């Protein structure tokens, strides 16, 4: 990392970052989401919760082709993920791994989040698959929330750790596991206490916001995502993990666009669009915490290290140069309201 040496840092050059959790969607949105992700991310882990989901090698590879045909900038590389169902077979895992293009498989507890209806109904159903993943070295990515309607939505992550993930970690000691988009102090502590094969991604919006931003003084649907924003003590624990230099915590934006009318609705969709300013939003969060010097490890080194990939070798430069985020962006043929719409972001990539 290099930065200018005056009291206030105004430029910051870091190794090109990667995004270890992003939703690009499909169809006519792809050219726009692919443009945004490839502007300065070197690689990205592409979430498979399409309609229908990318549950097998062939559909995942076909999706990769559509992404490449959407015209990514630079050397952008999409890293693909299989969507696990109760019916996924160990053979499908081996087939996917052999392509070299599918690095991970995603556990969505059925019904936990957007497009997760075909997900796994009980983790025991996929134990043979997890065994195959452990054998071939395929990562398990986890949406860590229980779906039991009797569990309070603010407790669903913690209950998942206590009742499900702890057992998986114990039963598969060699399986690399990423607990995605963590939102609680409990998740931070779980990952810190777990062995080296367990890591977590953290979004920019969970670093910048807590549930007051979403609910105090009016309900703001564009902050609604899953796992839901928690109270500020959890936000502080996430920030502490992100700036700790602990290599188990790395960048995953979970940028997840939904059209404006689907968010501003009586029953709005879960997901926040942050790909318009992903690294800039993280820079704001790290600067607020007085830890800009910790951004590079979190954004550009630790994820690649955990996945067992080379770090990127080129750099990007962030400049302190405030700009106003538009009210909407057009993705495909409809409008999306981004995080910080009509607000100012201090940083931009040169």
Ligand X SMILES: NC(=O)N[C@@H](CC(=O)O)C(=O)O
Please say whether the beta carbons of 157 and 184 come within 8 A: yes
Residue 27 or 74: which CB sits closer to ligand X?
27
- Residue 271 interacts, among Zn ion, ligand X, none and using kind-specific CB cut-offs from 5 to 8 Å, with ligand X
Phi, psi of 85 (to 5 degrees): -125, 175
Q: Does 303 bind ligand X (CB under 6 A)?
A: no
Q: Does 253 bind Zn ion (CB under 5 A)?
A: no
Catalytic positions, please?
A: 254
Least distance to ligand X, CB of residue 26, Å? 12
Q: Does 114 bind ligand X (CB under 6 A)?
A: yes
- List the x/- string, 116-155, binding to ligand X by CB under 6 A: ---------------------------x------------
Q: Does 23 bind ligand X (CB under 6 A)?
A: yes
Least distance to Zn ion, CB of residue 7, Å? 38
Binds ligand X by CB under 6 A, chosen from 30, 67, 141, 226: 226
Q: Does 254 bind Zn ion (CB under 5 A)?
A: yes
The two structure tokens encoding residue 325:
């985020």
Q: Which residues from 257-276 bind ligand X, rule CB under 6 A?
A: 270-271
226 is in an annotated binding site: yes
Residues 6 or more apart whose CB falls under 8 angstroms from that of 158 comprise 184, 186, 187
DSSP 337: P
Shortest-Cβ-distance residue relative to Zn ion: 143
- Distance between CA atoms of 148 and 132, rounded to whole angstroms? 28
Q: Which of 333, 287, 343 is nearest to 11 (CA)?
A: 287
Q: Does 235 bind ligand X (CB under 6 A)?
A: no
Tokens 């995942």 found at: 60
Q: How far is CA 151 from CA 120, 147, 162, 223, 226, in A?
A: 18, 8, 13, 21, 15
143 is in an annotated binding site: yes
- Residue 300 interacts, among Zn ion, ligand X, none and using kind-specific CB cut-offs from 5 to 8 Å, with none
Is residue 322 classed exposed, middle or buried when 0-12, 13-18 and 19+ CB atoms within 10 A define those classes?
Answer: exposed
The contact set with ligand X (CB under 6 A) reads 23, 49, 113-114, 143, 225-226, 254, 256, 270-271
């Amino acid at each position: 990392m290099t930065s200018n040496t005056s009291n206030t840092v105004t430029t910051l050059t870091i190794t090109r970052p990667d995004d270890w959790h992003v939703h690009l969607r499909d169809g006519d949105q792809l050219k726009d989401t692919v443009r945004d992700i490839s502007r300065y991310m070197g690689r990205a882990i592409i979430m498979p919760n399409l309609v229908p989901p990318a549950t097998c090698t062939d559909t995942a590879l076909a999706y990769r082709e559509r992404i490449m045909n959407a015209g990514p900038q630079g050397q952008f590389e999409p890293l693909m993920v299989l969507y696990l169902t109760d019916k996924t077979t160990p053979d499908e895992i081996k087939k996917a791994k052999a392509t070299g293009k599918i690095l991970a498989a995603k556990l969505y507890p059925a019904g936990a989040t957007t497009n997760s209806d075909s997900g796994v109904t009980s983790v025991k159903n996929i134990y043979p698959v997890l065994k195959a993943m452990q054998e071939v070295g395929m990562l398990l990515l986890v949406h860590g929330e229980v779906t039991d309607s009797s569990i309070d939505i603010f407790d669903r992550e913690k209950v998942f750790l206590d009742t499900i993930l702890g057992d998986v970690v114990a039963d598969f000691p060699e399986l690399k596991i990423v607990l995605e988009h963590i939102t609680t102090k409990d998740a931070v502590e779980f990952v810190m206490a777990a062995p080296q094969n367990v890591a977590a991604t953290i979004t920019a919006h969970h670093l910048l916001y807590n549930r007051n931003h979403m609910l105090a003084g009016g309900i703001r649907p564009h902050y609604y995502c899953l796992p839901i924003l928690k109270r500020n003590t959890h936000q502080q624990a996430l920030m502490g993990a992100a700036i700790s230099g602990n290599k188990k915590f790395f960048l995953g934006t979970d940028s997840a666009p939904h059209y404006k009318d689907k968010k501003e609705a009586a029953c709005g969709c879960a997901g926040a669009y942050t790909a318009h300013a992903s690294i800039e939003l993280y820079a704001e969060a790290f600067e607020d915490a007085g830890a800009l010097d910790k951004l590079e490890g979190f954004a550009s080194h630790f994820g690649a290290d955990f996945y067992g990939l080379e770090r990127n070798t080129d750099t990007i430069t962030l400049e302190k140069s405030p700009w106003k985020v538009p009210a909407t962006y057009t993705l495909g043929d409809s409008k999306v309201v981004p995080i910080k719409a009509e607000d100012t972001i201090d940083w931009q990539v040169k």
